[in-house]
A and B are shown apart, each in its own frame.
Chain A
Amino acid sequence: MSSIGTFTGYNIGKSALVTSSNAEDVVGNNVANANTDGYSVENLEIGEAPPVELNSNGGTWGTGQFGTGVHSAAITRARDQFLDGSLRDAYSRKGAQDAIGKQLGTVEAVVNEPGDAGINNALNKFFDAFNDVENNPEDVGVRTAVIGAGQELTHKLRVTQSALDSSGQQIADQVNVDVSEVNGIAKQIADLNAQIRKVSSAHQQPNMLLDQRDLALDKLAKMVNIRATAQRDGTVSVNIGGTELVAGDRAQSVKLEDLVSRGHLKGGTLGGDVQALASLTDLQNRLDNLSNTMMGEVNAVHASGAGLDGSTGLPFLTGSGARDIDVNENIVKHPEKLAAAAIPETAGVLPAPGDASNAVRIFNLKDKTIELGPLTGQTMAHFYNQTVTDIGTQAAGAKSTSDLVSATVTQLETQRSATSSVNIDEEATKLIQYQRSYQAAAKVISTNDEMLNSLLGMVR
């Protein structure tokens, strides 16, 4: 008769004790990490111990396999790789829109429209002031008012442009920090790849390392659009829109210029910041275009008129763009040089002091449809309003898209959490379950012991 050994019962009991105890440890670890970022709930996979074969020759129990207990097969983590991919896409999109919304929000605060303090209002007042000259061209006070309105407008253009300069600088600095952080995270992922490959090759589950790598990939996805592909050796390779970032244990240091020139940068806070920077540069260029057109138009008419003192050919505005546009210093010092009048037909004669015809011509530029350059087909005020509206529309678009993507992110995070997060009630249930198993296993051992005692008592 081939039978199982006398002490097998002890061993089965012992395996149950050990396994239950292991399971309690896994539960303990889950509870401990319930609030750990990126932690995936772990589960002890419990397997049957290999059975022994029983012979049937004369045995009373017949033929069969006899179980020898239990063992801990593996500790696995609950994770859905497909959800991770979708969620990272959503993170990239949300990151981009949030960044655009945030940066353009700052730009909007600088532009400060619609309101009485904006450029729109100053532009109106500037041209209207030229028309006010018509009511009293002889009066130096009216001329001073025109110069004042000119100074207010040019001051607003300069202040706006320089505030936008510093906003742009802040975004550019942020972008540089972000690029080095992307490269830092890439390095971290490559290191984790190497460790994971080593552990996996020893047929172990590197759960903590995987969690860390997933967390790093999430963080990276928030900054830039990435695609992470799992490889057979346990590593993931990462690329940004086609530019390789991580392959195995190597991280490629990426440069912003390359990503931009290849058109690979499409999402994440980095992508959003770069896009916001482009919008901001466009806005600044348009303010320059407005300033230069205004200088061209106003100066051409102003130079073709004459001041009270007969001076002619003077530009009213000076500068080379929105950064340095200003009222001609000479006219500020000598308001009588403001060319409100037409040049007298007789040479050497001072213009009539009541002649405001040139000032009215400058005023009429307000509603002139510009025929040259970037403002072609628009009046200056239309162009400015269009420019401001464009920025507002982009900011509003970013905000509403972000709201939309936020809903997707929340949805996916809920799903991921449903798979991977720790539920305390569930762990508490397992705690009781394994406690009971442990108690039962102890009972098996003590019963076995009693049985053996009875046997030994027989022979005494």
Chain B
Amino acid sequence: MRITESSMIDHMRGNVQQSQDNYNTTLNQLSTGKKINQVSDDPVAASKSLAVRSMIADMDHYQRNAQAGKLFLQYSDGQLSSVTSLIDQARQVAVAAANGGTLEDSSSATYIGQIDSIIQQVTQLANSDMDGRRIFAGTQTKTEPFTQDDPIHAYHGDDGALTSTVAPGVNIRLNESGQTIFAPIFSALESLKADIRNGDYNSISTNDIGAVDAGLQGVLNARAQIGTKLNQISDTSDRIQSSQVHLQDQLSSLEDTDLATTYTQLQLSQNVYQASLASTAKALQHSLIDYLH
């Protein structure tokens, strides 16, 4: 084939550009650490990476929700645990009062004082708030569900649910109804107090101790439910955590530069680039003209 200077020069220019381009591409991949910097670098991988990124964001978000839900449940459980020990104290008072037979006025006044103090503390616990949210008032989170010194202990909350979305489509109710837990306790304590005041020891042992126990059972039931939910959240969040790791791996394999391979490619493309520069510099140094005299 007849080769001409201009086609040689065109070729060399094209080849130098090509090897420079290759060199630049690998250098870019190494310096950014990404093999996909634009969708067109690899549309299939980029499309997957967009989806995986969404999923990772979702998972992070569900983890945050799970964390918040866990805190709420743990706090509720802590408050209810205090309620449990208060009810235990009330039961001891009831048993002591029932066994006391004819009570001195002074000791009956002591018992009443103890029960009043327990009622006050239980009311405080029922009004517990977490970052300004009443946890036993349903969705009326800005309202104290029970008022101190209210002899009928009217419930001011509602039965609305405070929820947390801990996984796609998994919406867990966090709050226990203040009405269900506390109304029986208050009524048992009030009746105990009235029976002590009236000296009705029979009613204390036949009715009040049983009612206090029922109130305790209600709290224990609620705590059991909280425990179940905590387990549920933990399981879900463990599962999400492992899929997070998996998704991060997937994203990394889609987007991130494989350093070993790319570094080798960089060496190679650098060599090719240097060789093409060297050969271009050497080319066309001579023609027949040099030998004509």
Taking Cβ atoms with an 8 Å cutoff, the residues of A that contact B are: 34-35, 104-105, 108-109, 111, 113-114, 120-121, 124-125, 128, 131-132, 134-139, 341, 352-357, 360, 363, 367, 381, 385-386, 388-389, 391-396, 399, 410, 413-414, 417-419, 421-426, 428-429, 431-432
Taking Cβ atoms with an 8 Å cutoff, the residues of B that contact A are: 1-7, 10-11, 14, 36, 38-43, 46-47, 49-51, 53-54, 57-58, 61, 64-65, 68-69, 131-133, 137-142, 158, 160, 162-165, 168, 171, 255, 287-289, 292
**Pair B57/A392 contact, Cβ less than 8 Å:** no
**Pair A389/B39 contact, Cβ less than 8 Å:** yes
**Pair A424/B288 contact, Cβ less than 8 Å:** yes
Q: Give every chain B residue within 8 A of A399 (Cβ-Cβ).
A: 40
Whether A424 contacts B163 in the complex (CB less than 8 A), given A124-B58, A413-B7, comes out as no
23 sample A-B contacts, Cβ–Cβ < 8 Å, listed by A number? A34-B6, A108-B40, A114-B255, A120-B53, A121-B57, A128-B58, A131-B165, A134-B163, A353-B139, A354-B138, A354-B140, A356-B162, A388-B46, A388-B47, A389-B39, A392-B38, A392-B43, A395-B40, A399-B40, A410-B11, A418-B2, A421-B5, A423-B2
Give A366 to B287 CA distance when docked, in angstroms.
71
**Pair B64/A132 contact, Cβ less than 8 Å:** yes
Contact of A138 among B4, B10, B133 (CB under 8 A): B133
Whether A425 contacts B288 in the complex (CB less than 8 A), given A138-B132, A391-B39, A392-B39, comes out as yes
**Pair A114/B61 contact, Cβ less than 8 Å:** no
The residue on B at minimum CB distance from A363 is B165
Whether A417 contacts B4 in the complex (CB less than 8 A), given A114-B50, A428-B289, comes out as yes
B208 to chain A, nearest CB (A): 34
B138 to chain A, nearest CB (A): 7
**Pair A428/B287 contact, Cβ less than 8 Å:** yes
B145 to chain A, nearest CB (A): 12
**Pair B139/A352 contact, Cβ less than 8 Å:** yes
The residue on A at minimum CB distance from B1 is A418
**Pair B6/A422 contact, Cβ less than 8 Å:** yes
Given A114-B46, A132-B65, A395-B38, 16 other A-B residues pairs in contact with their CB atoms under 8 A: A113-B50, A124-B57, A135-B68, A136-B68, A385-B51, A385-B54, A389-B50, A413-B7, A417-B10, A418-B1, A418-B4, A421-B5, A423-B3, A424-B289, A426-B2, A428-B288
Nearest 4 CB-CB pairings of A with B: A392-B39, A352-B139, A354-B141, A417-B7
Give A134 to B133 CA distance when docked, in angstroms.
12
**Pair B40/A114 contact, Cβ less than 8 Å:** no
**Pair B139/A354 contact, Cβ less than 8 Å:** yes
Give A34 to B284 CA distance when docked, in angstroms.
14
**Pair A421/B4 contact, Cβ less than 8 Å:** yes
Could you tell me the dominant secondary structure of chain A's interface residues?
helix
Q: Give every chain A residue within 8 A of B53 (Cβ-Cβ).
A: 114, 120-121, 124
Q: Give every chain A residue within 8 A of B41 (Cβ-Cβ).
A: 392, 396
Contact of A392 among B46, B255, B287 (CB under 8 A): B46
Q: Give every chain A residue within 8 A of B139 (Cβ-Cβ).
A: 341, 352-355
Give A420 to B58 CA distance when docked, in angstroms.
64
Contact of A105 among B38, B160, B255, B288 (CB under 8 A): B38
**Pair A389/B57 contact, Cβ less than 8 Å:** no
Q: Give every chain B residue within 8 A of A426 (Cβ-Cβ).
A: 2
Q: Give every chain B residue within 8 A of A396 (Cβ-Cβ).
A: 39-43
Q: Give every chain B residue within 8 A of A414 (Cβ-Cβ).
A: 7, 10-11
Give A419 to B38 CA distance when docked, in angstroms.
42
Whether A385 contacts B38 in the complex (CB less than 8 A), given A354-B140, A354-B141, A428-B289, comes out as no
Q: Give every chain A residue within 8 A of B68 (Cβ-Cβ).
A: 135-136
B117 to chain A, nearest CB (A): 30
Q: Give every chain B residue within 8 A of A429 (Cβ-Cβ).
A: 288
A145 to chain B, nearest CB (A): 12
**Pair A352/B288 contact, Cβ less than 8 Å:** no
Q: Give every chain B residue within 8 A of A421 (Cβ-Cβ).
A: 4-7
**Pair A418/B140 contact, Cβ less than 8 Å:** no
Q: Give every chain B residue within 8 A of A354 (Cβ-Cβ).
A: 133, 137-142, 160, 162
A29 to chain B, nearest CB (A): 16
The residue on A at minimum CB distance from B142 is A353
